[in-house]
Amino acid sequence: MTQTPAGPFGPAGPVGRLDPDVAEQRRRVREALADLSPGATVLVACSGGADSLALAAALAFEARRAAWRAGAVVVDHGLQAGSDVVAARAADVCRGLGLDPVEVVAVTVRPDGGPEAGARAARYAALEQAAERHGAGVVLLGHTLDDQAESVLLGLARGSGARSLAGMPARRGPWRRPFLGVRRAGTLRACAALGLAPWHDPTNGPADGAADGAGNRAVPDDGDLPVRSRVRHEALPVLEDVLGPGVAEALARTAEQLREDAEALDPLADALLAAACVGGAAPADAGPDAGADAGPDVGVLAVAPAAVRRRALRAFLVRAGAPAGALTRRHVTAVDALVTNWRGQGPVSLPGGVRVARRYGRLTLASHEEEHSVDVDDMGQDLERVLLDREQIDARLAEMAAQIDADYAGRDLLLVGVLKGAVMVMADLSRHLHSAVEMDWMAVSSYGAGTSSSGVVRILKDLDTDLTGRHVLIVEDIIDSGLTLSWLLSNLRTRGAASVEIAALLRKPEAAKVDVSVRYVGFDIPSEFVVGYGLDYAEKYRNLPFVGTLAPHVYAD
Ligand SMILES: O=P(O)(O)OC[C@H]1O[C@H](OP(=O)(O)OP(=O)(O)O)[C@H](O)[C@@H]1O
Ligand code: HPA
């Protein structure tokens, strides 16, 4: 096929065989825009570097054939002296290619989050506005296979997840990247074949075609070459040398595979989050005054595969206001531990001032005032898992109190607490009662420092109150073997009480050695040794605000 020359920057190359790189790049643009109708407006983001210049040339050529209106936007980031001159020159080249409209947009780069991120944000915002101004539904970006490979390598080195390793998509919203399968060297060859002289960004290292596909200006790192540029010029060539050619292509393929995986997993994560949020206000719905908004149910999240659950958590955190770019795997792992490794830990602080706590079996957005009143972090190391959190306990005690109020209506009630374990239950249960009750205390012991009942109950402190004719309710933290309460029940019944009943927060049905009739039970729990909320191991852990099991190392010590 022969070409007609069309000026120094014209769409056609020198007369003769069509350059294979030019042909391939035009084909890629044609395929990327196959859905556009004649008359459609397309813009190309052009920095003047080889990638975006080759893309601009391919677009200009294809636009003529397909009768699209094709223009270019050159973003001047103002990060280097003379950047306006470089931008004006790039715009001239685009005009020379026959693109119209062509405009230079100067942007102010905000340094928050680093100059590179700031430049990217400013550039995309400017391109979006330009697309709107010109009625363009599509903006072409010149990222190449090398850009993709560099991103994947950087991501791998930083331990990123599949979402960021998946690199840049060929299409999202108005953005299209026709050159993701094109090597950077190919854009340089195409420019040479077309007689185009690309601009070389000095901060990008040795001359190779300069800024990346979307006109990204790399920003010097400690006065050194930017990291990305070093990956390009040092790391990738070394890898190709050691592993053989094709490393960049392989990395780009990895991105493609991970993108497919991410695309399959993201909807599953969205569905999981939606299911977990049923019954609670989604964080987005919560008003600004809400101290703690009901978030996803940990029970629903916990049974999901880790890959889906962690994605769902990430989505929850981003919706709650944590900036996606600042959320690392470490953050998500800490929140995941609230779901899968709950040891009563306090709220997790995240970027963007977001704080997530676990309350009432849900992840909630915690306000700063809402700290745990007891810092359990030291004791938390000794715990294996939380069996009942403080909210579950409190809710159950309120129910039990309502029942007790109803059952004893019109009668004077004497609560007998069994020291020491029942202190918390007595304090919280009695405060949920609406009638005026009396309290007395007994201290008995059957466990000492061990984890199983000796069966021998000793009275360490007896009651001060005469039980004759009294309605007595024994308040206990736990019924394990039942030996203590069985003994206590018969002891108190010999004292002339009108009635003696038991209210116990916990009961271990599988551990019962004797049958004890308990009128009010908070929770039946498995036959494991538990601590917290009054329950001790060798006198420790009584002050934990929840009930949990101890890690094996505690017993081993
Ligand atoms: O059903 P059982 O197997 O008899 O166990 C239950 C008893 O054990 C605990 O007391 P502990 O003797 O440990 O004394 P404490 O309350 O001072 O911790 C608990 O407070 C019960 O009173
Ligand atoms: O599981 C328990 N933990 C602490 N104290 C106890 N006393 C009886 N059972 C227990």
Asked whether 530 lines ligand 2 (CB < 6 A), one says yes
Average pLDDT over residues 330-350: 87
Asked whether 170 lines ligand 1 (CB < 6 A), one says no
Grade residue 6 by pLDDT with cuts at 50, 70 and 90.
very low
Average pLDDT over residues 172-179: 96
Average pLDDT over residues 87-91: 96
Grade residue 218 by pLDDT with cuts at 50, 70 and 90.
very low
Q: How far is 339 from 175, CA to CA, in rounded Å? A: 37
Write out the H or E segment, with its range, that includes residue 133.
helix 115-134
Mutate to test the pocket of ligand 2, among 457, 480, 547 (most ligand atoms within 8 A of CB): 480
Among protein residues, the one with the nearest Cα to ligand 1's atom 7 is 484
DSSP 234: I
pLDDT given for residue 70 in this prediction: 98
324 has pLDDT over 90: no
171 has pLDDT over 90: yes
Atom of ligand 2 nearest to the CA of 528: 1
Mutate to test the pocket of ligand 1, among 423, 426, 447, 508 (most ligand atoms within 8 A of CB): 447
pLDDT given for residue 447 in this prediction: 59
Average pLDDT over residues 213-222: 40
Asked whether 480 lines ligand 2 (CB < 6 A), one says yes
Average pLDDT over residues 31-46: 97
Grade residue 167 by pLDDT with cuts at 50, 70 and 90.
confident
ipTM of the complex: 0.94
Atom of ligand 1 nearest to the CA of 452: 3
Beta bridge partners, 42, equal 70, 138
- The binding site for ATP comprises 47-52
Distance (angstroms) between ligand 1 centre and the Cα of 436 equals 27
Distance (angstroms) between ligand 2 centre and the Cα of 537 equals 8
pLDDT given for residue 12 in this prediction: 45
224 has pLDDT over 50: no
Mutate to test the pocket of ligand 1, among 423, 441, 446 (most ligand atoms within 8 A of CB): 446
Distance (angstroms) between ligand 2 centre and the Cα of 28 equals 71
Q: How far is 336 from 358, CA to CA, in rounded Å? A: 11
pLDDT given for residue 228 in this prediction: 80
Q: How far is 18 from 441, CA to CA, in rounded Å? A: 98
Specify whether the CB–CB gap between 325 and 335 falls below 8 A: no
Q: What percent of the chain has pLDDT over 70?
A: 85
pLDDT given for residue 113 in this prediction: 58
pLDDT given for residue 223 in this prediction: 36
209 has pLDDT over 90: no
Distance (angstroms) between ligand 1 centre and the Cα of 475 equals 12
Mutate to test the pocket of ligand 2, among 529, 537, 540, 554 (most ligand atoms within 8 A of CB): 529
Average pLDDT over residues 344-367: 85
Write out the H or E segment, with its range, that includes residue 363.
strand 362-365
Among protein residues, the one with the nearest Cα to ligand 2's atom 1 is 529
Mutate to test the pocket of ligand 2, among 387, 451, 546 (most ligand atoms within 8 A of CB): 451
- Tell me the range of 31-40, 106-115, 158-167 where mean pLDDT is highest: 31-40
Distance (angstroms) between ligand 2 centre and the Cα of 370 equals 30
**Nearest alpha-carbon partner for 148 in 168, 164, 163, 121:** 168
| C-alpha neighbours within 13 Å on the C-beta side of residue 36 | 27
Lowest mean pLDDT among 107-116, 206-215, 483-492: 206-215
pLDDT given for residue 284 in this prediction: 41
DSSP string, 146-177: HHHHHHHHHHHHTT--HHHHT---SEETTEE-
Question: How many other CB atoms are found less than 10 A from the CB of residue 434?
Answer: 11
pLDDT given for residue 308 in this prediction: 97
Asked whether 457 lines ligand 1 (CB < 6 A), one says no
Atom of ligand 1 nearest to the CA of 535: 18
> When comparing pLDDT for 4 and 63, which is higher?
63
446 has pLDDT over 80: no
pTM over 0.90: no
Distance (angstroms) between ligand 2 centre and the Cα of 506 equals 10
Distance (angstroms) between ligand 2 centre and the Cα of 497 equals 28
Average pLDDT over residues 34-49: 96
Q: Is the peptide bond before 540 cis (omega within 30 degrees of 0)?
A: no
Grade residue 3 by pLDDT with cuts at 50, 70 and 90.
very low
Average pLDDT over residues 502-527: 93
Grade residue 8 by pLDDT with cuts at 50, 70 and 90.
very low
Lowest mean pLDDT among 147-151, 237-241, 330-334, 389-393: 389-393
pLDDT digits (tens, 9 = 90+) for 310-321: 999 999 999 999
pLDDT given for residue 61 in this prediction: 98
DSSP string, 235-276: IHHHHHHHH-S-HHHHHHHHHHHHHHHHHHHHHHHHHHHHHH
114 has pLDDT over 80: no
Grade residue 371 by pLDDT with cuts at 50, 70 and 90.
very low
Residue 96: both structure tokens together: 């020379």
Among protein residues, the one with the nearest Cα to ligand 1's atom 14 is 445
Q: Which ligand is nearest to the CA of 528?
A: 2
22 has pLDDT over 90: yes
What integer best gives the mean pLDDT of the chain?
Answer: 85
Distance (angstroms) between ligand 1 centre and the Cα of 478 equals 7
pLDDT given for residue 532 in this prediction: 95
Asked whether 480 lines ligand 1 (CB < 6 A), one says yes
Among protein residues, the one with the nearest Cα to ligand 2's atom 9 is 480
Give the chain's domains with CATH numbers: 20-149+168-217 (3.40.50.620), 278-371 (3.30.465.60), 391-556 (3.40.50.2020)
199 has pLDDT over 90: no
pLDDT given for residue 78 in this prediction: 84
Specify whether the CB–CB gap between 76 and 126 falls below 8 A: no
pLDDT digits (tens, 9 = 90+) for 271-301: 999 999 987 544 443 333 333 446 899 999 9
Distance (angstroms) between ligand 2 centre and the Cα of 477 equals 9
What angle separates helix 50-66 from helix 83-96, to the nearest 10 degrees? 30
pLDDT given for residue 474 in this prediction: 98
Specify whether the CB–CB gap between 148 and 183 falls below 8 A: no
Lowest mean pLDDT among 150-164, 245-259, 487-501: 150-164
Average pLDDT over residues 164-180: 91
Question: How many other CB atoms are found less than 10 A from the CB of residue 468?
Answer: 9
